[in-house]
Every structure is written in C-alpha cells, then in structure tokens.
Amino acid sequence: MEKQRKITLAILIMLVLISIIAVVDISTRVEKKRSLQAGLNMMATGPGVAIVRIDGPIELTGPAGFMGRPSGAEAVVKRLADIEKDSNIKAVIIRINSPGGTVAATQEIYHKIISMRKKNITFVASMGDIAASGGYYIASACNYIVANYGTITGSIGVIAYSPNLKNLMDKFGIKMNVIKSGKYKDILATHRDMSSEERALLQEMIDLSYHKFVSDIALGRNMNQNDIYPVADGRVMSTQTALKYKLIDQLGTFDEAISKAKELAGLDADAPVYEEHLSPLNEIFSSMNSLFTGRIFESRFVDTSNRIEYRYMQ
Amino acid sequence: MNIETLRELAWTDYFFYAIVSPRELYRRIKQHDSGMLQLSFTVPVMAAFFDVVALSLNGTESGFFYHKISYGWLLFLFILLLKIVVYSALIDSSAQFFGCSGNIKDTVSLVNFAMFPGLMFLPLFYIISIAGIAPGFFYIFLPFLFFCWYLIILTLGVSEMHSIQSGRALALIFAPALVAGTLLFFTFIIFVFSLVGFIAG
C-alpha cells in the first residue's frame, strides 16, 4: 500500500515537473524567436520612406472595416497624420490606383499632403493602372510624380450626372409625389427633365470645382494655370502625353518612385520602406466584410447616388 | 486536510484508483473523507493548464504564449469548471430520471477524478513533439484515446454509484451528452448566423 502511494506520488510529481519543463522550453523558444525578430526589425528602423495606398474610387468614408476600422479618404488622412507624427518618415510614396472620386474626399487628401509638404516631408506620387481625375488631383499635390508607361491619367474635370427616367416612368404610368420647400430641392430628380435654371445652377457649381481643380494642380505642380487649361478638358491621356504637358515628372515603376523619394529626401539607397500593415485578424475580417456585403462589386457596378465628382467615367 | 494527512499519502489513493480501478475509486469517494471534493478539483486545474501547454507545443512560438499560459489558463479553467458542473448536474438529473437516487457531490468528484488519466497526454505529446513523430496526428488521436478512458472510468464509477449494469450507466452518461450536444449544435448554428449578420451589418 505504501509503495503504491509512493508510485502515485512520483507520477504526480513527474506530471508537474514535465509541465514546468514544457513551459520553460516553450518560453525559451519564444524568446529565441523574439530576439531573432528583434534583430530583423533593427534593420527596418531609422529614417525612411512610408507607403500610402489609394485604391479604387475615392470616397470620404468607405465601408466600415472590422471593429470600426476606418476606410476611404478618412483612413488615408489618418494614415498621413500618423506618418506626420513619426520623425523617422522623411518621404512618402502615394501609390495611386484610382479613377477619382468625390470632390470633398479628394480635397481632404490633397490638402493634407500640401500641409505635410510644408513640414519638409517629401511626397512622390506613383501611378498604377489608373490615376485619373481625382486620382491625378491627389498626385498633383506631391513634389514629384512618377507614372507607369501604361497608366491612364488626365481626365481633369468635374462631372455630375443623373439618369432621366421621365419617358420610362410615363410609359409605365408612374408619377412622383414631390413636396418640397424650395424650387431647387429636387434638383437632379430623375422623374422629370432638368430646367435650364437648374442646369445653370449646377453648371456654376461644376465650374467652381473645375477652376479649383486647375488652380490646385497649378499650386501643387508649380505651373501656370494657362498651361493646364488646354489639356484640362476632361480628356484621358497616356503618360507620354502627360509628360509632354508636364503633368507628370517621370515615367517609371513603383521601385523607381521609391528610389526617387529617397533621393529627394536625402536618404540612403538602403533606407527602410515602411508599408502599411494590417493585423492578420483585420485582414481576414476585411476580406470577409467585402465577401458578406458584396461591396467588392458595389463601387464598380452599382452607383445610384447623385454626386459631383472628380472622376473618370469608365 | 492537514500536513499529517498529506504525509500519510492516503489522498494519492484517489488518483491511483482512477487509473487502475474506477469502482474502487467510487467506493473511496463514498467514504466522504474531509477535503476529498476540494482535492478532486486539483485535476481540472491541472487539466486546464496542461491543455494550454499542449496547445502551445502544437502551435507556433510567439509572445502570445504568455497570454495563453496566464489568461488563457484561467479561461480554460473557467470553461472546464462550467462543463464539469453542468455535465455532473445533467448526469445526476439523468440518473434520477431513470429511477436512481441523486448524488451530485459524488458525481462532481467522480467526473473530476475521471479526468486524471488524461493528464498523461502532456508528457506523451511532449515526447512526440520533441521527436517530431506526426505531432499533428497525435494531437488529435491521443485525446480521443484518453477520452475513451475517461468514459470507461465514468461508466464504471456511475455503475458502482447507482449499483446498476455498466450498459445502463453508459446510457445515463450518454443521455445528457446527447442533450448537451444537440443544444451546442443549435447554439453553434445561431452563433454562425449572428456572426455573419454582425460582419455584414
């Protein structure tokens, strides 16, 4: 009996010891890995270049991400504000792959870049597939613009649109009941023709936004507005044409844009590049968010709102 | 349980009989020694800790280990204690439903001690993971074996407790498991629907 109890006690002690050994073993491995990662991270510190990505149509607030994570122009401005606080960031690459977007959202980003330029942070725009209209507006705020050979750019102009469904509704006998406080309250209504007064009112708004667009390009690019107006008729253009009209500074790739940013900011060629990283959890939930809401298609195929936009209509 | 009692090592009998003779284990439980119930809870405390360590052995090394071994252990323990209380209550209710007398305190002690052989999983899995002999497979396979062992102890213990056949004792154990399993299944379905709704919202 005594022996049997001692054996049981020995088993219990063995279990406790093994658990302690296992914990120490795992802790040692964790610490080894941590020190290795710390060693790798050491290489990625110090003055460097940050990357900010602008993808897709620009809106002030995009679909809310996991745990209320902001997206859209607000997220870009927030990322820029974070970069502004980081003394290690001497230059920023704005990687643009966008056909433009709403006026307010575009101007939010433009003005944030201009204000940061005043604090001696160098901005280089790198254009992807498309950087037209509002996409180009944002690029023009940068000190230097590098565009890919195949990039579609230009489309300097403003657009507002709404479908006229009057005939269709008449055909189906649908009539709208409109109770409004003023004669322009249902401007851009789809159930009737637009009046000449309404058209003039909207045209004035469009013109104001358009002149603001051109004057901001001139400010950002340090150009004369009169040199911009001849090509600011809404046309899209190849980057070779854009280079000819000095709307961009260089033809090149994303890597060449990074090198240029380092050069302009006086950084070493091996200076670190700081990408924006999502936590794995956020990445999973961001992709699931699009999957469940169908918003991956929304911006391309569904657009029912009436807005004034700096946007290239594809 | 004072120092003298601890030195006598009589308390080790519960662990010993949990491995070699579940019927004898229950007879010991029935004696209601002082501190027996409290002693039985050392098994789930260790089991929760061992589960976390085994999980960490199987996973990648990261700083998250320290959270797992501290808060994670407490969370595992809380869930395990909840399971023990709920499952013991269900077994007890099931026993009463089938005409046996209720004995929740002894059932809790029996459920606790029945988990003891499962603690051997950690040393075995540790050796396997160090040797690198298909740890992924054994991480699934060994707990299954230990679960079968757990069921055998529980069945024989319940059989002894209510003086019934082993087959009937097994039915007593499986009836609440079936109810709990069905409830868990529907809870899971509701959880998935809620999660999809939350993400899509």
When mean pLDDT is compared across A119-128, B75-84, B105-114, B128-137, the lowest value belongs to B128-137
Average pLDDT over residues B24-42: 86
pLDDT tens track for A127-147? 999 999 999 999 999 999 999
pLDDT number for residue A40: 46
- What average pLDDT is seen over chain A? 84
Taking residue A200's Cβ as centre, other Cβ atoms within 10 Å add up to 9
Taking residue A16's Cβ as centre, other Cβ atoms within 10 Å add up to 13
Question: Percentage of residues in chain B with pLDDT exceeding 90?
Answer: 31
- What average pLDDT is seen over chain B? 87
Q: What is the CATH number of domain A34-311?
A: 3.90.226.10
Task: Look at residue B12 and give its three-state secondary structure.
Answer: helix
pLDDT of A293 over the 70 cut? no
pLDDT tens track for A2-18? 788 888 889 999 999 99
Question: Model confidence at B7, in pLDDT bands (50, 70, 90)?
Answer: confident
Mention every residue, 6+ apart, whose C-beta is less than 8 A from residue A274: A44, A48, A49, A50, A51, A88, A89
**Closest to B87 in 3D by CA, of B159, B189, B175, B157:** B175
pLDDT number for residue B1: 59
pLDDT number for residue B150: 92
Q: Is A238 labeled as catalytic in the residue annotation?
A: no
Can you give the three-state secondary structure of B90-156, one letter per residue? HHHHHHHHCCCCCCHHHHHHHHHHHCHHHHHHHHHHHHHHHHCCCHHHHHHHHHHHHHHHHHHHHHH
> Of A23, A41, A69, which to mutate for an interface test with B (greatest number of B Cβ within 10 Å)?
A23
Mention every residue, 6+ apart, whose C-beta is less than 8 A from residue B19: B116, B117
pLDDT number for residue A292: 46
Q: Are residues A15 and B10, on separate chains, in Cβ contact within 8 Å?
A: no
Give the C-alpha distances (Å, rounded to integers) separating B2 from A7, B9, B35, B39: 21, 11, 9, 12
List chain B residues with CB under 8 Å of A29.
61
List chain A residues with CB under 8 Å of B49.
19
**Alpha carbon A183 to chain centroid distance?**
37
Question: Percentage of residues in chain A with pLDDT exceeding 70?
Answer: 82
Taking residue B139's Cβ as centre, other Cβ atoms within 10 Å add up to 17
pLDDT number for residue A69: 52
When mean pLDDT is compared across A84-98, A141-155, A172-186, A279-293, the lowest value belongs to A279-293
Cβ pair B172, B94 in contact under 8 A = yes
When mean pLDDT is compared across A26-30, A170-174, A286-290, B176-180, the lowest value belongs to A286-290
Min Cα distance B105 → chain A (Å) is 24
Cβ pair A257, A91 in contact under 8 A = no
Is the CB of residue B139 less than 8 Å away from at least one CB of chain A? no
pLDDT number for residue B35: 81
pLDDT number for residue B201: 67
In the block, residue with structure tokens 């968010």: A289
Min Cα distance A271 → chain B (Å) is 28
Is the CB of residue A284 less than 8 Å away from at least one CB of chain B? no
pLDDT number for residue A70: 56
Is the CB of residue A11 less than 8 Å away from at least one CB of chain B? yes
Q: Are residues B13 and A29, on separate chains, in Cβ contact within 8 Å?
A: no
pLDDT tens track for A71-94? 688 889 988 998 999 888 999 999
Q: Are residues B122 and A15, on separate chains, in Cβ contact within 8 Å?
A: yes
pLDDT number for residue A51: 93
Nearest residue in A to B6, CA atom: A9
Question: Percentage of residues in chain B with pLDDT exceeding 70?
Answer: 96
| A126: Cα within 13 Å, side-chain hemisphere | 19
ipTM over 0.85: no
Average pLDDT over residues B69-98: 89
pLDDT tens track for A229-250? 999 999 999 999 999 999 999 9
Can you list the pairs that A236-245 forms with residues at least 24 positions away whose Cβ atoms lie under 8 Å?
A236/A132, A236/A152, A236/A153, A236/A154, A236/A155, A236/A312, A237/A152, A237/A153, A237/A154, A238/A152, A238/A153, A239/A127, A239/A147, A239/A148, A239/A149, A239/A150, A239/A151, A239/A153, A240/A149, A241/A154, A242/A147, A242/A153, A242/A154, A243/A147
Q: Are residues B46 and A8, on separate chains, in Cβ contact within 8 Å?
A: no
Is the CB of residue A281 less than 8 Å away from at least one CB of chain B? no
Higher-confidence residue of A305 and A104: namely A104
What pTM does this model have?
A: 0.54
**Closest to A117 in 3D by CA, of A105, A127, A109:** A109
pLDDT number for residue A304: 41
pLDDT number for residue A42: 46
pLDDT of A306 over the 60 cut? no
Q: Report residue A223 as tokens.
A: 């150009």
Cβ pair A223, A239 in contact under 8 A = no
CB pairs under 8 A between A and B: 69
pLDDT of A278 over the 80 cut? no
pLDDT tens track for A151-167? 999 999 998 888 899 99
Considering A133, A140, A155, A209, which one is annotated as catalytic?
Answer: A133
Is the CB of residue A29 less than 8 Å away from at least one CB of chain B? yes
> Of B8, B61, B128, which to mutate for an interface test with A (greatest number of A Cβ within 10 Å)?
B61
Dmax over CA atoms of chain A, in Å, equals 106
DSSP letter, residue A66: G
- Please give the single-letter amino acid code of residue A215: S
pLDDT number for residue A288: 52
> Of A7, A9, A11, which to mutate for an interface test with B (greatest number of B Cβ within 10 Å)?
A11
pLDDT tens track for B109-153? 999 999 999 999 999 998 888 888 888 888 889 999 999 999 999
pLDDT of B70 over the 90 cut? no
pLDDT number for residue A61: 76
Average pLDDT over residues A205-228: 93
Cβ pair A301, A157 in contact under 8 A = no
pLDDT number for residue B33: 76
Phi-psi category of A173—alpha, beta or left, where left has phi over 0 and alpha has psi -120 to 50?
Answer: left
How many residues are given for chain A? 314
Strand-pair partners of A131 = A98, A153
Q: Are residues A15 and B12, on separate chains, in Cβ contact within 8 Å?
A: no
Q: Is A3 labeled as catalytic in the residue annotation?
A: no
Question: In A142-195, which ranges are continuous DSSP H helix?
Answer: 166-172
pLDDT number for residue A303: 47
pLDDT number for residue A281: 52
Question: Model confidence at A32, in pLDDT bands (50, 70, 90)?
Answer: confident
Q: Are residues A12 and B122, on separate chains, in Cβ contact within 8 Å?
A: no
Considering A185, A195, A279, A287, which one is annotated as catalytic?
Answer: A185
**Closest to B120 in 3D by CA, of B37, B50, B31:** B50
Cβ pair B172, B98 in contact under 8 A = yes
Q: Are residues B16 and A5, on separate chains, in Cβ contact within 8 Å?
A: yes
Q: In what order do the strands lie in the sheet with A308-311?
A: A100-102, A308-311, A159-160
Q: Report residue B161 as tokens.
A: 């407790």
Q: Return residues 76-105 of A near B (CB < 8 Å).
A: none
Q: What's the CA gap between B80 and B74, in Å, rounded? A: 10
pLDDT number for residue A296: 39
Q: What's the CA gap between B144 and B102, in Å, rounded? A: 29
- Give the pairing of strands A308-311 and A100-102: antiparallel
Is the CB of residue B199 less than 8 Å away from at least one CB of chain A? yes
Q: Are residues B53 and A288, on separate chains, in Cβ contact within 8 Å?
A: no
pLDDT of B190 over the 90 cut? yes
pLDDT of A265 over the 90 cut? yes
Q: Report residue A1 as tokens.
A: 């009996």
